[in-house]
Amino acid sequence: MRTFLVASVLGSLALGCGAPSSTPITPAAPAVPAAKLGDGAPLVTPGERMTYRVVLGGVELAAMSLGIGERTELAGNPTILVQGHARSVGLANMIAAIDDTFTSWLDVDTGRSLRFVVDEYETNSKVNIEHTIADLANKTAELLPITFALNDAPPQPEPQKLRDPDVWDYNAFLVALRSWEGPVGTTQSVEVLRSRWLWRVDMKIRSKERLTTELGDLPALRFDGHTYKVDRQGAKDPKSDERDFSIWISDDDGRVPLLIVARTDYGDVRMEIVDYQPGTGQRLRP
């Protein structure tokens, strides 16, 4: 059974869960200049791979990976493939059996996602697979085409109304954070697609810190996030709590995502890096 606890753990990794909060991120003072998220080519290298463990209270619940594929094309547009994979392990696997894959085709010049495909177990099932496709290449300023299917059933349309003309999927958003620059205190509000649902996310460049990881003691840039789920009409989902999380990315040339912490009622869920492979191709962003 996919319990609330385990679902919360993996949802938190995709900006979808954490402890309820009534305190949104305070907007930056007017003196802090805005820095647009994700301008230019994505900061990725073909063959690059990051591996993480997901821990709650010292217990490993899941493994997570983010891999960069080779250059390809989607409907004639040059793209690069980015794929995330989350898999429950140990006791959590016996309880929830989570095995979710998130695949994005990112435009090599802008880093914007053109297509987002999610394959994941249905809640409370170890058999049924949900298939979601977001056709970001054909979105309008107000509407994002999404289809959903269970197992081999014909896909059904689930169009999503947008508040902003710009929208990210989870993979593209994490990649965009790698190149986000600005003074401490800079904020940005965006819409991020996780699986079938859209989330409103307020991000803030919090601080420069030192972070001890399995890769060593590294300089890191900390981002704080505040989020809530959006319904199909583009309004805040009345059943969704507001939630908080933090992301640390190495403050060096590699700009590697090192740690994600989501605050839950059960304690902090931590997605900690355990391995990094830099890839062998040419990095898309100089």
pTM for the model stands at 0.88
DSSP 3-state of 193: strand
Strand 197-213 and strand 187-194: the pairing is antiparallel
Min mean pLDDT across 37-51, 83-97, 126-140 is at: 83-97
Residue 14 contacts residue 194 (beta carbons within 8 Å): yes
Strand 168-169 and strand 187-194: the pairing is parallel
- Kindly tell me if the per-residue pLDDT of 278 is higher than 50: yes
* C-alpha dihedral sign at 46, 213, 264, 178: negative
Q: In terms of DSSP H, where are the helices of the chain?
A: 4-13, 90-95, 170-178
- Kindly tell me if the per-residue pLDDT of 25 is higher than 70: no
Please report which confidence band the pLDDT of residue 265 belongs to, taking 50, 70 and 90 as the band edges: confident
Chain-centre distance of CA 56, in angstroms? 19
Domain positions in the chain are 4-23+35-277
Distance CA(56)–CA(10), nearest Å, equals: 11
Distance CA(249)–CA(222), nearest Å, equals: 7
Distance CA(7)–CA(235), nearest Å, equals: 23
116-148 pLDDT per residue, tens? 999 998 877 778 999 999 999 999 999 999 999
